[in-house]
Amino acid sequence: MFGKVVLGRLVDKLGNVKVFIVSELSMAVCIILLASSYAIPLIIVSSVILGIFAKGTVPVLTTMVTESVEHHGRFEKAFSLNAVFVGVGSSIAPILLGYLSDTLGIVQAFYASALFALIAIVPAYLFSKVGK
């Protein structure tokens, strides 16, 4: 809940796309810190910060979808496509990351997760350019 409140306030000041991009960058950094650190305090702090950004970006993403179609009245299609892509991604990611973990090791699976967070920035950035 803390992530939703913090990121919601930031969205009010900075906008959805900027907050989403900064959140994904922050998540990638936290994931890399988790994968490469042996210091328990750093692992705990990184985990908490990662949780804040991970749960806080859900409403940011939903608002981005809503704002992209608000003038066209296509909420049903936008939300159904969003739900499909999020559902597919949520189903494939554990399988892919589990496979990577089994074949290359858990640290490499964490690095792949960080890479996924960085890749998520690309559509958000493109979205910001199309919106203008």
pLDDT at 12: 85
Q: Give the structural domain span for 118.
A: 2-131
Q: Is 103 exposed, middle or buried (0-12, 13-18, 19+ CB in 10 A)?
A: exposed
Q: Are 88 and 2 in contact (CB under 8 A)?
A: no
The string of pLDDT tens digits covering residues 74-128 is: 778 878 888 888 889 889 999 999 999 999 999 999 999 999 999 989 988 887 7
Q: Are 28 and 114 in contact (CB under 8 A)?
A: yes
Q: Is 19 exposed, middle or buried (0-12, 13-18, 19+ CB in 10 A)?
A: buried
Looking at residues 14-31, what average pLDDT do you find?
Answer: 91
For the entire predicted model, the pTM comes to 0.82
pLDDT at 2: 79
Amino acid of residue 109:
A
pLDDT at 66: 76
The pair phi, psi for residue 120, each rounded to 5°, is -65, -20
d(CA 53, CA 28): 10
Q: Are 113 and 97 in contact (CB under 8 A)?
A: yes
pLDDT at 1: 77
pLDDT at 29: 94
The string of pLDDT tens digits covering residues 32-83 is: 999 999 999 999 999 999 988 887 787 787 778 777 776 676 778 878 888 8
Please give the tally of structural domains in the chain.
Answer: 1
Query: What band does 131 get if pLDDT is binned at 50, 70 and 90?
Result: low
